[in-house]
Protein backbone atom coordinates (compact mmCIF):
# COMPACT_ATOMS: atom_id res chain seq x y z
CA UNK A 1 0.00 0.00 0.00
CA UNK A 2 1.06 3.60 -0.58
CA UNK A 3 0.49 6.77 1.40
CA UNK A 4 1.42 10.30 0.31
CA UNK A 5 2.93 12.42 3.09
CA UNK A 6 2.28 16.11 2.29
CA UNK A 7 5.01 18.71 2.82
CA UNK A 8 4.07 21.77 4.89
CA UNK A 9 5.86 24.73 6.43
CA UNK A 10 3.72 24.27 9.53
CA UNK A 11 1.53 21.44 10.76
CA UNK A 12 -1.64 21.34 8.66
CA UNK A 13 -3.63 18.12 8.82
CA UNK A 14 -6.40 19.50 6.58
CA UNK A 15 -4.36 18.66 3.45
CA UNK A 16 -3.26 15.24 4.66
CA UNK A 17 -5.09 12.24 3.26
CA UNK A 18 -6.52 9.74 5.72
CA UNK A 19 -4.89 6.35 5.84
CA UNK A 20 -7.90 4.26 6.77
CA UNK A 21 -7.31 1.48 9.29
CA UNK A 22 -9.96 -0.68 7.72
CA UNK A 23 -8.61 -4.23 7.62
CA UNK A 24 -9.62 -6.10 10.79
CA UNK A 25 -8.34 -9.65 11.17
CA UNK A 26 -8.12 -12.44 13.70
CA UNK A 27 -11.35 -11.51 15.56
CA UNK A 28 -14.88 -10.54 14.62
CA UNK A 29 -17.61 -8.33 16.02
CA UNK A 30 -15.87 -4.98 16.45
CA UNK A 31 -14.21 -2.82 13.81
CA UNK A 32 -14.24 0.87 14.84
CA UNK A 33 -13.60 3.48 12.16
CA UNK A 34 -10.01 4.71 12.57
CA UNK A 35 -7.47 6.53 10.45
CA UNK A 36 -4.06 8.19 10.55
CA UNK A 37 -2.64 11.36 9.00
CA UNK A 38 1.07 12.08 8.63
CA UNK A 39 2.61 15.42 7.63
CA UNK A 40 6.25 16.22 6.80
CA UNK A 41 7.18 19.63 8.20
CA UNK A 42 10.16 20.24 5.94
CA UNK A 43 13.40 20.69 7.84
CA UNK A 44 11.74 19.96 11.19
CA UNK A 45 10.20 16.49 11.29
CA UNK A 46 6.91 14.62 11.03
CA UNK A 47 3.56 15.33 12.69
CA UNK A 48 1.17 12.44 13.26
CA UNK A 49 -2.52 12.50 14.11
CA UNK A 50 -4.49 9.30 14.66
CA UNK A 51 -8.25 9.29 15.17
CA UNK A 52 -10.82 6.67 16.18
CA UNK A 53 -14.61 6.79 16.37
CA UNK A 54 -14.97 5.02 19.69
CA UNK A 55 -17.23 6.58 22.30
CA UNK A 56 -15.86 4.94 25.45
CA UNK A 57 -12.29 3.84 24.83
CA UNK A 58 -10.77 1.68 27.53
CA UNK A 59 -7.95 3.69 29.12
CA UNK A 60 -6.47 2.05 32.21
CA UNK A 61 -2.81 2.97 31.74
CA UNK A 62 -1.27 6.43 32.13
CA UNK A 63 2.54 6.12 32.16
CA UNK A 64 5.32 5.77 29.60
CA UNK A 65 5.94 2.14 28.62
CA UNK A 66 2.76 0.86 30.30
CA UNK A 67 1.15 -1.93 28.20
CA UNK A 68 -1.28 0.42 26.46
CA UNK A 69 -2.03 -2.19 23.75
CA UNK A 70 -4.29 -3.81 26.36
CA UNK A 71 -6.39 -0.61 26.31
CA UNK A 72 -8.07 0.88 23.27
CA UNK A 73 -4.93 1.72 21.36
CA UNK A 74 -3.75 3.50 18.20
CA UNK A 75 -0.31 2.54 16.90
CA UNK A 76 2.30 3.83 14.44
CA UNK A 77 5.04 1.43 13.36
CA UNK A 78 7.70 3.05 11.18
CA UNK A 79 11.13 2.53 9.67
CA UNK A 80 12.32 6.07 8.87
CA UNK A 81 15.60 4.86 7.32
CA UNK A 82 15.46 2.46 4.37
CA UNK A 83 19.15 1.69 4.82
CA UNK A 84 18.49 0.22 8.27
CA UNK A 85 16.55 -2.83 9.46
CA UNK A 86 15.34 -0.88 12.51
CA UNK A 87 11.72 0.06 13.06
CA UNK A 88 9.88 1.85 15.86
CA UNK A 89 6.61 0.79 17.45
CA UNK A 90 4.77 3.78 18.94
CA UNK A 91 1.55 2.75 20.72
CA UNK A 92 -0.87 5.25 22.35
CA UNK A 93 -4.08 5.22 24.39
CA UNK A 94 -6.66 7.96 24.95
CA UNK A 95 -4.90 9.09 28.15
CA UNK A 96 -1.89 10.06 26.05
CA UNK A 97 0.17 7.25 27.59
CA UNK A 98 2.47 5.48 25.17
CA UNK A 99 4.73 2.50 24.74
CA UNK A 100 7.62 2.82 22.32
CA UNK A 101 10.85 1.10 21.34
CA UNK A 102 13.22 0.79 18.41
CA UNK A 103 13.58 -2.79 17.22
CA UNK A 104 14.91 -5.08 14.55
CA UNK A 105 12.28 -7.67 15.52
CA UNK A 106 9.77 -8.17 18.32
CA UNK A 107 12.34 -9.59 20.78
CA UNK A 108 15.22 -7.24 19.95
CA UNK A 109 14.25 -3.83 21.32
CA UNK A 110 15.65 -0.64 22.85
CA UNK A 111 13.23 1.67 24.70
CA UNK A 112 13.28 5.06 22.98
CA UNK A 113 14.05 6.92 26.23
CA UNK A 114 17.50 5.28 26.07
CA UNK A 115 18.08 6.84 22.64
CA UNK A 116 16.43 10.27 22.68
CA UNK A 117 14.23 12.56 24.81
CA UNK A 118 10.62 11.39 24.82
CA UNK A 119 8.19 13.17 22.49
CA UNK A 120 4.91 14.47 23.87
CA UNK A 121 1.61 12.82 23.02
CA UNK A 122 -1.51 15.01 23.11
CA UNK A 123 -4.76 13.07 23.51
CA UNK A 124 -8.24 14.49 22.88
CA UNK A 125 -11.56 12.84 23.76
CA UNK A 126 -15.02 13.80 22.52
CA UNK A 127 -18.50 12.26 22.66
CA UNK A 128 -18.03 9.84 19.80
CA UNK A 129 -14.29 9.35 19.58
CA UNK A 130 -10.73 10.22 20.45
CA UNK A 131 -7.48 11.22 18.83
CA UNK A 132 -3.77 11.46 19.58
CA UNK A 133 -1.12 13.76 18.14
CA UNK A 134 2.67 13.54 18.35
CA UNK A 135 5.59 15.27 16.62
CA UNK A 136 8.75 13.36 15.71
CA UNK A 137 11.52 15.92 15.26
CA UNK A 138 14.38 15.35 12.84
CA UNK A 139 16.66 15.36 15.88
CA UNK A 140 14.63 12.55 17.45
CA UNK A 141 14.62 10.58 14.20
CA UNK A 142 18.36 11.10 13.81
CA UNK A 143 19.09 9.78 17.27
CA UNK A 144 16.85 6.74 16.83
CA UNK A 145 17.43 5.91 13.13
CA UNK A 146 20.64 7.70 12.13
CA UNK A 147 18.84 9.76 9.45
CA UNK A 148 18.52 13.52 9.91
CA UNK A 149 17.23 14.93 6.63
CA UNK A 150 14.22 14.20 4.43
CA UNK A 151 13.47 15.59 0.97
CA UNK A 152 10.51 15.64 -1.39
CA UNK A 153 10.23 12.41 -3.33
CA UNK A 154 11.84 10.28 -0.63
CA UNK A 155 10.03 7.29 0.78
CA UNK A 156 10.12 5.13 3.87
CA UNK A 157 8.06 2.27 5.33
CA UNK A 158 5.47 1.85 8.07
CA UNK A 159 1.99 0.88 9.16
CA UNK A 160 -0.92 2.19 11.23
CA UNK A 161 -2.91 0.03 13.63
CA UNK A 162 -5.95 0.04 15.94
CA UNK A 163 -6.17 -2.61 18.63
CA UNK A 164 -7.40 -3.49 22.09
CA UNK A 165 -5.97 -6.75 23.37
CA UNK A 166 -7.93 -6.72 26.64
CA UNK A 167 -10.97 -4.66 25.71
CA UNK A 168 -14.52 -6.01 25.91
CA UNK A 169 -14.16 -7.18 22.31
CA UNK A 170 -10.49 -7.68 21.42
CA UNK A 171 -9.77 -6.29 17.95
CA UNK A 172 -6.83 -5.84 15.57
CA UNK A 173 -7.10 -3.34 12.72
CA UNK A 174 -4.47 -2.24 10.22
CA UNK A 175 -3.88 0.04 7.26
CA UNK A 176 -1.47 -2.20 5.34
CA UNK A 177 -2.72 -5.81 5.61
CA UNK A 178 -0.61 -8.41 7.41
CA UNK A 179 -0.67 -12.00 6.20
CA UNK A 180 -0.26 -14.09 9.35
CA UNK A 181 -2.44 -16.64 11.09
CA UNK A 182 -2.19 -15.04 14.55
CA UNK A 183 -2.25 -11.38 15.65
CA UNK A 184 1.21 -9.93 15.09
CA UNK A 185 1.83 -6.27 14.29
CA UNK A 186 5.62 -6.73 14.45
CA UNK A 187 5.85 -7.71 10.80
CA UNK A 188 7.84 -5.02 8.93
CA UNK A 189 7.79 -7.14 5.78
CA UNK A 190 4.13 -6.07 5.44
CA UNK A 191 4.73 -2.33 5.96
CA UNK A 192 3.30 0.03 3.37
CA UNK A 193 5.24 2.84 1.64
CA UNK A 194 5.12 6.50 2.71
CA UNK A 195 6.22 8.97 0.01
CA UNK A 196 6.94 12.65 0.71
CA UNK A 197 5.18 14.83 -1.87
CA UNK A 198 3.68 18.33 -2.22
Distances (CA, A) of 192 to 31, 118, 187: 21, 25, 11
Nearest-10 Cα torsion for 151, 153, 156, 160: 110
Q: How confident is the model at residue 17 (pLDDT cuts 50, 70, 90)?
A: very high
Q: What is the pLDDT of residue 158?
A: 98
Q: What is the pLDDT of residue 132?
A: 98
Sign of CA dihedral 8, 40, 163, 58: negative
Helix (H) or strand (E) holding 141: helix 138-145
Domains of the chain, each with CATH number or no CATH:
2-197 (2.60.40.1190)
* 56-107 confidence digits (pLDDT tens): 999 999 999 999 999 999 999 999 999 999 999 999 999 999 999 999 999 9
Q: What is the pLDDT of residue 149?
A: 87
pTM for this model (two decimals)? 0.97
Q: Which is nearest to 13 in space by CA: 35, 44, 32? A: 35
Other Cβ atoms closer than 10 A to 90: 23
Is 27's pLDDT higher than 90? no
Helix (H) or strand (E) holding 78: strand 73-79
Q: Which residues pair with 74 in a beta bridge?
A: 92, 162
Q: What is the pLDDT of residue 28?
A: 87
Average pLDDT estimate for 181-188: 95
Pairing of strands 45-52, 34-41: antiparallel
Q: What is the pLDDT of residue 118?
A: 96
Let me know: does 138 contact 116? Beta carbons within 8 Å.
Answer: no
Q: What is the pLDDT of residue 198?
A: 77
Count Cβ atoms within 10 A of the Cβ of residue 47 and give its class: 0-12 exposed, 13-18 middle, 19 or more buried: buried
Kindly report the CA angle at 111 between 66 and 134, in degrees rounded to 5? 70
* 112-166 confidence digits (pLDDT tens): 999 999 999 999 999 999 999 999 999 999 999 998 889 999 999 999 999 999 9
Let me know: does 172 contact 183? Beta carbons within 8 Å.
Answer: yes
Contacts (Cβ under 8 Å, ≥6 apart) of 151: 196
- Bigger pLDDT: 1 or 156? 156
CA atoms of 61 and 71, how far apart (whole Å): 7
Amino acid sequence: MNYIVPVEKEIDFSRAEKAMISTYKWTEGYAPEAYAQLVCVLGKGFALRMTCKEANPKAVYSNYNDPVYKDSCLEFFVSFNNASNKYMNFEMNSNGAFLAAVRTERANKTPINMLAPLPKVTATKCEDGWSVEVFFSNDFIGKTFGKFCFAKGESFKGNFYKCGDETEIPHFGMWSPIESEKPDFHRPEFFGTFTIEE
